Amino acid sequence: MANTTLLYYSKLLVRCSAYEKDGSGGGRVRVNGAAHRVPLQVGAALETKINRSLAGLMRPPVLSQPPTEEEAEGRRSQRQNIPSEKQTVDPFRQAVIVEGGVRYRQTVVVRSYEVGPDRTATLETVLNLLQETALNHVWMSGLLGDGFGATHAMITNNLIWVVSRMHVQVDHYPIWGEVLEIDTWVGSSGKNGMRRDWLVRGRSSGAIFVRATSTWVMMNKVTRRLSKMPKEVRDEISPWFIDRHAIDEVATDKIIKLDTNATYVDSDLKPKRSDLDMNHHVNNVKYVRWMLEVIFIIL
C-alpha cells in the first residue's frame, strides 16, 4: 500500500487508485469504476451526478513514482498466484484433480445473479462455468502462462486457443443455490486439435444436468491464422489426455448457413464494452446470449 496514490474527488464521491496500472503508461489514472451513490429511489427515475465532472477525470494528474513494469508485473503475479507446478488440490476454488491425476473437478454454487427470472441458471451461466472450469483446469496443471488458458510453449509461439466446435446438451437447469460438481478433461482431436469435455452434476443427487464437448485449435496471435500444433505444445498437454466422451455424438451434421428467411433475426447487434473478454474478443458465451435474446419469449 505504500506506493499507493489516492485521489479524492469528494464532491464526486469518486475515489480511484493509480498504482494498479500495469506499468505501461506511467501514471494514467484507471477509472473502470466509480464510487457512487446509485440513486434507485423506488419509482423514481435514475438520477446521478457522476457525469457532471467526468470530463475532469479524463485529464490525468501527474503521480509520484508510478511502478516500473517489473514491479507491476511482480505484484500482479503475486496476486494471481498462478502455480508453475502441477497442483492436485485448489482449496479456494474448491477443486481437486481426480482419475489418474488428469481430470478436474470443481464444486460450484449457483449464484443469485446467475439465474434468470425463473430462478434457474441461464445458458449463459452454464457456458461461463464451462469456460471457468476449463481455465482452472489449466491453472492447476502448472502449464498456464500469462493468457486465456495458453500454455508456456503456446506463448513462446504466439499461439492462442480458439474454439472450433462446441456441443452442449442440457438435461436439467440447476436452480439458485444449488451445489454443482463440474468435471472437465481433455483428449486428442486429430493432429492439431484438442478435445475438451464437461459433465455438470448436482452434488447431492448425482443427477447429470449438462454434458458438453468441444474442439479447440490454435491460432497465431499475430497473423490471425490457424496454426499447426507445435511438438513442444503437444508434449506439454498430451500427458493430460483421456479418451472419454461426455456426449456420444452419432452424427456431426453440418450446420447450414442462415439465409434471409430465418425465423428469428436481429441485425442490430453491436458489441458493447461489457461484451469483451480479456482477449478483447466477443467470445462464444456472448454470442449465445445474443441468440437467446432473439429466439426466446418466455414471459
31 belongs to the binding site for a copy of itself (CB under 8 A): yes
Q: How far is the CB of 100 from a copy of itself (least distance, A)?
A: 26
Segment contacting a copy of itself by CB under 8 A, of 27-35, 64-72, 192-200, 232-240: 27-35
Using the rule CB under 8 A, is 48 a contact of a copy of itself?
Answer: yes
Nearer to a copy of itself, 238 or 264 (CB): 264
Give yes or no for residue 222 binding a copy of itself (CB under 8 A). no
As measured in angstroms, the least distance from the Cβ of 35 to a copy of itself is 4
DSSP structure string for 257-286: PP-TT-SS--------GGGB-TTSSB-HHH
* Whole-number Cα distances in Å, 174 to 2, 5, 152, 289: 45, 44, 35, 18
Among 42, 59, 100, 260, binds a copy of itself (CB under 8 A): 42
Q: Which of residues 159-218 bind a copy of itself (CB under 8 A)?
A: 162-173, 175-179, 202-205, 207, 217
Q: Which amino acid is at 263?
A: T
Check residue 256 for interaction with a copy of itself (CB under 8 A). Answer: yes
Q: Where are the beta strands (DSSP E) in 137-202?
A: 159-170, 179-189, 193-202
Cβ atoms of residues 76 and 24 within 8 Å:
no
CB-neighbour burial class of residue 30 (10 A; exposed 0-12, middle 13-18, buried 19+): middle
Q: Are 289 and 272 in contact (CB under 8 A)?
A: no
3 state DSSP class of 11: coil
Give min distance, CB of 128 to a copy of itself, in A. Answer: 5
At residue 114's C-alpha, the angle toward residues 108 and 118, to 5°, is 120
Q: What's the rounded Cα separation, in Å, for the pair 138 and 194?
A: 13
Segment contacting a copy of itself by CB under 8 A, of 3-11, 97-105, 188-196, 228-236: 3-11
User: In this complex, which beta carbon is closest to a copy of itself, that of residue 19 or of residue 240?
Assistant: 19
Nearer to a copy of itself, 146 or 235 (CB): 146
Closer residue to a copy of itself (CB): 33 or 100: 33
- β-strand pairing of 103-109 with 95-98: antiparallel
Q: Looking at beta carbons only, is 56 or 239 nearer to a copy of itself?
A: 56
Q: Which stretch binds a copy of itself (CB under 8 A): 14-22, 65-73, 190-198, 233-241?
A: 14-22
Q: Hey, which residues between 132 and 161 contact a copy of itself (CB under 8 A)? A: 132, 135, 139, 148
Which string of x and - marks every residue 86-125 that binds a copy of itself (by CB under 8 A)? ------xxx------------x-x-xxx-xxxxxx-xxx-
41 or 64: CB nearest a copy of itself: 41
- Report the distance separating Cα 60 and Cα 66, nearest Å: 13
- For a copy of itself, the closer of residues 99 and 146 by Cβ is 146
Indicate whether 272 belongs to the interface with a copy of itself (CB under 8 A): yes
What CA–CA distance (Å, rounded) separates 74 from 96? 27
Among 5, 9, 50, 63, binds a copy of itself (CB under 8 A): 50
Please report the sign of the dihedral spanned by the C-alpha atoms of residue 293, residue 295, residue 298, residue 299.
positive
Pick from 156, 281, 164: nearest CA to 220 = 156
| Stretch (H or E) spanning 212 | strand 208-220
Count of residues of this chain found to bind a copy of itself when the rule CB under 8 A is applied: 118
Q: How far is the CB of 294 from a copy of itself (least distance, A)?
A: 8
